[in-house]
Amino acid sequence: MSTDSRLDTSKVATSNRTDAATASKGSPAGSLASWADDRLGLATAMKKNLRKVFPDHWSFMLGEIALWSFVVLLLTGVFLTLWFNPSMGHVTYEGSYDQLRGVGMSESMASTLNISFDVRGGLLMRQMHHWAAMVFIGSMMVHLLRVAFTGAYRKPRELNWVIGCILLLLGTLEGFTGYSLPDDLLSGTGVRAADGFLKATPVAGSYMSFLLFGGEFPGESIIPRLYIVHVLLIPGLLLALIAAHMLLLVYHKHTQWPGPGRTEQNVVGYPMLPVYAAKAGGFFFMVFGVIALMGGLMTINPVWKFGPYDPTKVTAGSQPDWYMGWPDGLLRIIPSGWETVIFGYTISWNVMIPILIVPPLMLVVLMLLPFLESWITGDKRDHHLLQRPRNAPTRTAVMVALMTFYGLAWAAGGNDIIAIKLDASINQITYFIRVAIFVGPVVAFWITRRWCISLQRHDNEKLLHGYETGIITRSVDGQYAERHLPISGSSAYTLTARDRDEIYTVAGDTDAAGVAAPNSRSEKLRAKLSSWMYVHNVQKPTRAELEEAHHHAEHEAQLQSGLDHPVDGHQFDDHQLRNTDEVPLRDH
Amino acid sequence: MRVLNRTAGRLSRHRRGPLAGLAVLLLGLLVSGSLYTAFSPAQADSQASQTDEVAKGKELFLVSCATCHGKNGEGIPTVRDGYQIGPSLVGTGAAAVDFQVGTGRMPMASPGAQAPRKKVVFNDEEIAALAAYVASLGPGPAVPDESDYSIDGLSEAEREEAISRGGQIFLTNCTACHNFNGSGGAMPRGGYAPALRGVEGKYIYEALLTGPQNMPNFSNGNLSPEEKRDVIAYLGSLEDTPEYAGFTLGGLGPVSEGLFAWLVGIGGLVGAAVWIASHTTRTKKDKVNA
């Protein structure tokens, strides 16, 4: 293709209608774009994607917080690598912080202190990096909750859900390796705990520990190894998976809330350029700004107060960062005596259950949620319209039960701080959570499901009887009643834009010849689960019910007919009568 | 010289006299007696006032302390073996009284997991009287002098060294309960290690000496007086050092950091997302619903 045949976009024609159009002088930016496009051919690729439409809702921007805080992590992380020295070589600190001068420590601790006190802007960068890590994982979790509560993980997005779960796991590991690098008293305690967890693994434990530490704990190798994992291995995986996550997002197109004009086949919203480019770009600066303010104003991990790691020391308030708090909480509440001795070897259930069994199990359960749901429901259709949490009561309740479990384990991880801040006994808190961690999720499940079903009933009431106007009328025989008015057509559409739930039933155990149907046992289980999931749900009204309700509502509409303004309530009382002298207020 | 020699010679002639021994003895007694009077802190009238102080202390003790500690400070056991309403104070010394009463922990307002620090109910004179009375029950650590816990007498270099040494002693012996920042920590069954920030050096020294409530006793064989002084110097230096990194969030470690990450970070940014989504594109100034 020759360049002649193409439109030269660097020149824009000007005309004042009466004169012939003349080509303006090419702008430098336009010429540059043409030059680049001739060589890279980006215009064709961009033409479509820059106009890609995204729906607009605040909850669709939660994942964006994670993305932008990851960018802040990359920027501040690069700054820190310029001065951080990941070495366990022993030095005597001679820097600016008085209280530690003359104290022996590893080079990684000394360089962390150097970044904090002697590198210009270093402390701000360290604190921003750490706060950004906390926000990164926190925003991944609220994004995960949004996706789960709205059913956005249904087909075709199950694999993107799995990628998201792996991102959460990798983010947690990345956070832990970063937390361990300064080699201060707190992080050393954390690494020591990790060593204990490895060693609690039956048979392979001590081999794994020796492999990781290059010999007996702590050795000389752990910091350089964690460093390369922290700055190369996991960030590389994170970047690749974030790219895959977003490519799948573009490929699947974003989900949207149901509403007039929104179907499973379209996306209603604004184009990438200029609307979302501006919104997302602006949001990046807000994320950066909030993290910069946090880094500038709020202390995080003051390593100079912890001092260098020394296995003989420990401090009260030794906790992991918040995202590792819940396994720590499980570890804190499990009875300490749960151990089995087999042939002289101790199996430490008290470490294995809270650290090596439950957290990986929870992650697997999380990843399987969309697959379990689609197996139970038998729903293999694509879904691009979101569900309101109330319209999937069982799913919503399962998520709230999982959150309750997480929250209680999380609280147990801070039991000492809760004890001193609320003047409570740490023993009583522990006993309470030991029971609540089993009872709480069940209670939360039941309350949430009933709550959702009540909200479904409320929606049906709005559809059939209209909304509550707040206008109270009194009938002639003295009865008070609240007047309901029909909701708008678009609201009614939005409320009814959902499928009816179909309980799966097994056709028959045996066929005509008396041969058992294949998979009948699993099919029976599936039918049972499907019934458990759907049987209490309230279905949307049928067409006949709606029509009858509309007929009823016509009477209400008549009362409004002839008015050029919406009802304010006085149409239904005797106020108008009061203004006329001829008519008495009441006939007595 | 000649005069001195003659005098010495004359005295020397009497040195074997029958009254010489008696005269030397009297002279010696006179000299030592007057020296003692001149230099001894325990003068006759001070002795009397100390007795008065102990008597006054006993009076206060009977009113405010004896209910739990017994009329002679012997302690009162409960019917359950090993439990007591108040422990024996014999041998706890003046330092323990100065710490417990001086910080308002005693007299206890009500029985509980631990006596909290509260408003001090006795004045300095009364505390000294109580301390004198309890000290009279049996030998125990005395109230330390300011020179015991102050580093004011040291040179600049020695002070710096004392502070960094004190920091390491603090991290080894104290932070397990009192936290790296001296913010305090939890102990079993509702007990707690109180916050150390802003506590006077004297009380920290006394607590180390006497081991109040849940705290172990750090005897001078365990932590030498200089090491105790260095810990106090380190804690004092934290008060004088600005908080380089901003608000400390309670100085409690990762739990409070996590709380603020969620409240300020996630809370603020979700709020920002709601704000951005509610301000969508428009060509006119009037608000539109997308």
Domains in chain A, ordered, with CATH? 3-49 (no CATH), 64-321+352-386 (1.20.810.10), 462-507+516-578 (no CATH)
Which residue type occupies A157?
R
CA distance B164 to A68: 41
- How many helices and strands (H and E) does chain A possess? 22, 10
Q: A190-204, A311-325, B71-85: lowest mean pLDDT where?
A: B71-85
Say how many domains are in chain B: 2
Q: Do B268 and A290 touch (CB under 8 A)?
A: yes
- Give the number of C-alpha atoms closer than 13 A to the C-alpha of residue A15, restricted to the C-beta side: 7
Helices (H), A307-425: 325-333, 349-351, 358-377, 393-413, 415-421
Peptide bond into A156 cis (omega under 30): yes
Average pLDDT over residues A194-213: 94
Q: How far is CA B138 from the centre of its chain?
A: 20
Please judge whether B185 and A318 are an interchain contact, meaning their C-beta atoms are less than 8 angstroms apart.
no
Does residue B128 sit in the same domain as residue B57? yes
Examine the domain organization and report whether B234 and B165 are in the same domain. yes
Q: Which residues of A touch B172 (CB under 8 A)?
A: 310, 312-313
pLDDT at position A33, please? 85
Of A116, A283, A414, Cβ closest to residue B276: A283
- Residue A406's pLDDT is 97
Tell me the average pLDDT across B123-140: 94
Whether B128 and B156 map to the same domain: the answer is no
Strand segments, DSSP code E, in chain B are: 76-77, 84-86, 185-186, 192-193
Phi and psi dihedrals of A425, rounded to 5?
-90, 130
Asked if residue B194 and residue B226 are part of one domain, the reply reads yes
Q: Indicate if B115 and B190 belong to the same structural domain.
A: no
Residue B185 is part of which domain span?
A: 146-240
Cross-strand bridge partners of residue A298: B247
Q: How many CB contacts within 8 angstroms connect chain A with chain B? A: 221
What pLDDT score was predicted for residue B153? 86
The tokens of A398 are what? 């399962």
Judgement on whether residues B69 and B106 belong to the same structural domain of the protein = yes
In a 13 Å sphere around the CA of A290, the CA atoms on its Cβ side amount to 27
* Domain presence at residue B75: yes
pLDDT value for A572: 58
Mean pLDDT, range B205-225, rounded to an integer: 93
Please tell me which residue, A280 or A520, carries the higher pLDDT value: A280
What integer pLDDT is reported at residue A36 of this predicted model? 87
User: Burial level of B158, CB count in 10 A (0-12/13-18/19+)?
Assistant: exposed
Q: Is A166 exposed, middle or buried (0-12, 13-18, 19+ CB in 10 A)?
A: middle
Residue B232 domain flag: yes
Which of A328, A171, A296, A190 is closest to A234 using CA atoms? A171
Under the banding of pLDDT at 50, 70 and 90, the label for residue A552 is confident
Distance CA B235, CA B196 (A): 8
Residue B73 has pLDDT above 80, yes or no: yes
Q: What is the structure's pLDDT at A588? A: 42
pLDDT digits (tens, 9 = 90+) for A122-147: 999 999 999 999 999 999 999 999 99
pLDDT surpasses 70 at B26:
yes
Q: Which residues of B touch A64 (CB under 8 A)?
A: 273
Do B131 and B153 fall within a single domain?
Answer: no
Average pLDDT of B128-132?
A: 95
pLDDT band, residue A580 (cuts 50/70/90): low
pLDDT score of A575 more than 80: no
A242-267 average pLDDT score: 93
End position of a domain, from candidates B114, B137, B160: B137
Nearest Cβ partner for A142 among B171, B193, B266: B266
On whether ipTM exceeds 0.95, the answer is no
Structure tokens at A476: 């002639």
pLDDT band at A22 (very low <50, low <70, confident <90, very high): low
* pLDDT over threshold 90, residue A309: yes
Of residues A552 and A387, more confidence is placed in: A387
CA A374 remoteness from chain centre: 21
In a domain, B222, yes or no: yes
Chain B residue numbers with beta carbons less than 8 Å from the beta carbon of A275 are 280-281
| Residue A3 confidence (pLDDT) | 44
Is-contact A444 A400, C-beta < 8 A?
yes
Kindly state the tokens that stand for B96. Answer: 């323990």
Task: Locate A491 and state its tokens.
Answer: 């609201």
**Mean pLDDT of all residues in B167-195:** 94
Interchain pair A138, B261: CB under 8 A: yes
Q: A392-423 pLDDT, tens per residue?
A: 999 999 999 999 999 999 999 999 999 999 99
- Identify all chain B residues contacting A428, using CB atoms and an 8 Å cutoff: 190
Instruction: Flag if A99 and B258 touch (Cβ within 8 Å).
Output: no
Least confident of A288-292, B151-155, B264-268: B151-155
pLDDT averaged over chain A? 89
Is residue B40 very low, low, confident or very high in pLDDT (cuts 50, 70, 90)?
Answer: low
Contact call for residues A12 and A24 (beta carbons, < 8 A): yes
Residue B119 lies in a domain: yes
* Domain final position from B137, B167, B202: B137
pLDDT band, very low/low/confident/very high, at A304 (cuts 50, 70, 90): very high
Give the mean model confidence (pLDDT) for residues A332-338: 93
Q: Which region among A48-62, A81-95, B174-188 has the lowest average model confidence (pLDDT)?
A: A48-62
Compute the average pLDDT of residues A216-221: 92
Q: Are residues B80 and B159 in the same domain?
A: no
Q: Which of B111, B137, B163 is the last residue of a domain?
A: B137
Residue percentage of chain B with pLDDT more than 70: 88
Does some domain include residue B2? no
Tokens linked to B159: 């002070």
CATH number for the domain spanning B186: value is 1.10.760.10
Taken in order B25, B30, B32, B36, the sign of the CA dihedral is positive
Band the pLDDT of B278: cuts 50, 70, 90: confident
Q: Kindly state whether A99 is in contact with chain B, defined as any CB-CB distance less than 8 angstroms.
A: yes
Token pair 């290690």: residue? B193
Task: Judge if B235 and B154 occupy the same domain.
Answer: yes
Residue A298: the pLDDT is 97
**Do the chains contact at B164 and A64, CB–CB below 8 Å?**
no
User: Band of the pLDDT at B61, cuts 50, 70, 90?
Assistant: very high
Q: Is A419 on the interface with B (CB under 8 A)?
A: yes
Kindly state the percentage of chain A with pLDDT values over 90.
Answer: 69
Least confident of A504-508, B49-53, B57-61: A504-508
Residues 135-154 of chain A with CB under 8 A from chain B are 135, 138-139, 142
Residue B115 falls within a domain, yes or no? yes
Cα-Cα-Cα-Cα torsion A36, A37, A40, A46, nearest 10 degrees, comes to: 120
**Contact by Cβ (8 Å): A113, A158:** no
Q: Which of A22-31, A447-456, B100-109 has maximum average pLDDT?
A: A447-456
Q: A424 to chain B: nearest residue by CA?
A: B190
pTM for the predicted model, two decimal places = 0.86
Residue A1 pLDDT: 40
Can you give the pLDDT at residue B47?
63
Residues B186, B208 within the same domain: yes
Q: Which residues contact B103 (CB under 8 A, 6 or more apart)?
A: B117, B120, B199, B203
Residue B277 lies in a domain: no
In the prediction, which pLDDT does A79 show? Answer: 97
